[in-house]
């Protein structure tokens, strides 16, 4: 018989039963398939929302960049509009008063701005003529000043300087040639700045005229997009802004008048030329240029007084300092108590903040803006009665037990104990 692979000891399969199938060893379960990503559709394509989200993100970034670029390009125009708005608020009381008497609002605005323009042009003309005359006088007297300086130098340092040698040295010097070249180049820059300043002045005047003449129409247009409750709040804020801005400028104008008259009297008494124009200069510059206006205003009268007599310049300096203290502590609090009514520290901080944000424009409009905000918030902040406590008035309450510090120190100095008994 042929040998077989079967085990002879294994029981034979039953008749008619199929032979047993040999079982394969158990295989490890197949690894789990990674779940489909949320960003991938079941059919393997990109979801529909992803392209739209990417386009929306790119559109937002492009819109932000475009808005930032437009804001930086229009910063000058926005500042001019802000100045025009505050100027319109300043002339609003005068225009409204003239309009209430039957005059057309456009004509009233035109008359107010014409008066301001004539006053400004007259002041600039007088100041320009004064400066031109003073410069001509200084140029004509320059040889005499130079001779006196040379004589003092020769007498003091035992030198032998001559005016002819100094003039020839100056005419042939390299620094004078470079200075003339730079000055010729800078004339174009100065001309461009002057033209730019005139264009900005025209822009401010135009916008301020429209804001003042069409003030009611502007308020109606603004209130038409707001509910009735909000309309009352906007009109109240507008009225507060008009009162504070107009009151601030009018109080400044009154202080400028007082300051100009006081300095005019001094300069006229000293015999300084152009005393009326210098008085107007000191009054306007010291009041309408915050922080440094006083020093700029006093510099020009001191210079003119120095050409007359050096001691006159000292007297002008002393008078400027004394009058500034009188104005800060006596005159200004009484005049601005009803118009602006803000603390001096708050006013100084607002001027510093306005200068940091908008430069000279921010320094000029900072005080009326802060006064308007303070008055508007003060109308809606709930206040309570203050308790009658000595600590409110700055008096510290002593502890109930033991003498005070001053009493104990005095007792120790007298050789006694704090309780009053003599030391053994």
Separation CA 424–CA 421 (nearest Å): 9
Report residue 86 as tokens.
């505050």
Residues 6 or more apart whose CB falls under 8 angstroms from that of 203 comprise 77, 80, 84
CA distances to 76, 286, 351, 360, 364 from 290, in Å: 21, 7, 7, 9, 7
> Counting beta carbons within 10 angstroms of the beta carbon of residue 110, is it exposed (0 to 12), middle (13 to 18) or buried (19 or more)?
middle
What does the pLDDT look like over 212-255, one tens digit per residue? 888 888 888 888 888 888 888 888 888 888 887 877 777 888 88
Count other C-beta atoms under 10 Å from residue 352's C-beta.
15
- E strands, 41-161, are none
Task: Give every residue of the chain whose pLDDT is below 70, as ranges.
Answer: 1-44, 134, 138, 171, 176, 179-181, 183-190, 290-292, 336-341, 344, 378-383, 392-424
- Give pLDDT, residue 3: 46
> What is the torsional sign of CA 220, 222, 223, 229?
negative
> Counting beta carbons within 10 angstroms of the beta carbon of residue 287, is it exposed (0 to 12), middle (13 to 18) or buried (19 or more)?
buried
Separation CA 326–CA 341 (nearest Å): 18
Q: Report helix, strand or coil for 378.
A: helix
- Give pLDDT, residue 380: 66
Backbone angles phi, psi at 422, to 5 degrees: -70, 145
Report residue 326 as tokens.
């009188």
Separation CA 358–CA 356 (nearest Å): 6
Residues 6 or more apart whose CB falls under 8 angstroms from that of 219 comprise 234, 235, 238
Count other C-beta atoms under 10 Å from residue 329's C-beta.
10
- Give pLDDT, residue 190: 66
CA distances to 112, 202, 243 from 239, in Å: 20, 27, 6
Separation CA 221–CA 223 (nearest Å): 6
CA distances to 148, 297, 310 from 144, in Å: 6, 29, 16
Contact (CB, 8 A) for 270 and 315: yes
- Give pLDDT, residue 415: 61
Separation CA 332–CA 407 (nearest Å): 43
Identify the helix (H) or strand (E) that includes residue 247.
helix 228-270
> What is the torsional sign of CA 101, 102, 103, 108?
positive
- Give pLDDT, residue 7: 45
**Minimal CA–CA distance to 249: which of 80, 5, 83, 48?**
83
Residues 6 or more apart whose CB falls under 8 angstroms from that of 310 comprise none
- Give pLDDT, residue 142: 73
Rg over alpha carbons for the chain, rounded to the nearest Å, is 43
Exposure string over 266-283, b if 16+ CB within 10 A, otherwise e: bbeebebebbebbbbbbb
- Which residue has tokens 């009611």? 216
Separation CA 294–CA 317 (nearest Å): 11
Report residue 40 as tokens.
């991938």
């Amino acid at each position: 018989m042929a040998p077989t692979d079967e085990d002879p000891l294994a029981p034979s399969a039953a008749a008619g039963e199929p032979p047993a199938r040999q079982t394969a060893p158990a295989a490890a379960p197949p690894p789990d398939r990674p779940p489909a990503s949320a960003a991938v559709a079941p059919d393997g394509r990109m979801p529909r929302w992803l392209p739209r989200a990417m386009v929306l993100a790119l559109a937002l970034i492009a819109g932000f960049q475009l808005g930032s670029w437009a804001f930086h390009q229009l910063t000058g125009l926005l500042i001019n509009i802000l100045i025009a708005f505050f100027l319109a608020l300043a002339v609003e009381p005068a225009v409204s008063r003239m309009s209430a008497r039957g005059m057309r609002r456009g004509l009233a605005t035109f008359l107010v701005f014409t008066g301001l323009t004539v006053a400004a042009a007259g002041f600039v003309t007088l100041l320009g003529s004064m400066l031109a005359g003073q410069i001509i006088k200084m140029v004509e007297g320059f040889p005499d000043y130079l001779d006196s300086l040379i004589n003092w130098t020769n007498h003091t340092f035992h030198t032998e300087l001559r005016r002819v040698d100094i003039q020839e040295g100056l005419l042939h010097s390299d620094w004078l040639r470079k200075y003339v070249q730079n000055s010729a180049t800078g004339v174009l820059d100065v001309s461009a700045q002057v033209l730019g300043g005139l264009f900005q002045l025209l822009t401010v005047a135009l916008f301020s005229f429209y804001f003042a003449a069409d003030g009611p129409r502007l308020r109606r247009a603004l209130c038409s997009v707001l509910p009735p409750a909000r309309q009352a709040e906007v009109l109240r804020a507008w009225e507060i802004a008009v009162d504070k801005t107009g009151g601030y400028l009018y109080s400044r104008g009154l202080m400028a008048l007082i300051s100009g008259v006081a300095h005019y009297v001094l300069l006229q008494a000293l015999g300084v030329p152009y005393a009326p124009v210098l008085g107007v200069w000191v009054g306007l510059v010291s009041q309408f240029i915050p922080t440094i206006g006083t020093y700029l205003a006093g510099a020009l009268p001191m210079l003119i007084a120095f050409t007359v007599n050096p001691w006159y310049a000292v007297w002008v300096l002393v008078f400027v300092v004394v009058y500034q203290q009188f104005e800060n502590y006596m005159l200004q609090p009484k005049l601005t108590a009803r118009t602006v009514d803000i603390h001096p520290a708050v006013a100084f901080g607002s001027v510093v903040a306005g200068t940091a944000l908008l430069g000279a424009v921010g320094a000029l409009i900072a005080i009326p803006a802060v006064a308007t905000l303070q008055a508007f918030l003060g109308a809606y902040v709930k206040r309570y009665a203050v308790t009658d406590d000595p600590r409110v008035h700055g008096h510290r309450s002593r502890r109930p037990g033991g003498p005070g510090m001053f009493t104990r120190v005095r007792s120790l100095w007298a050789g006694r104990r704090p309780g009053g008994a003599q030391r053994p």
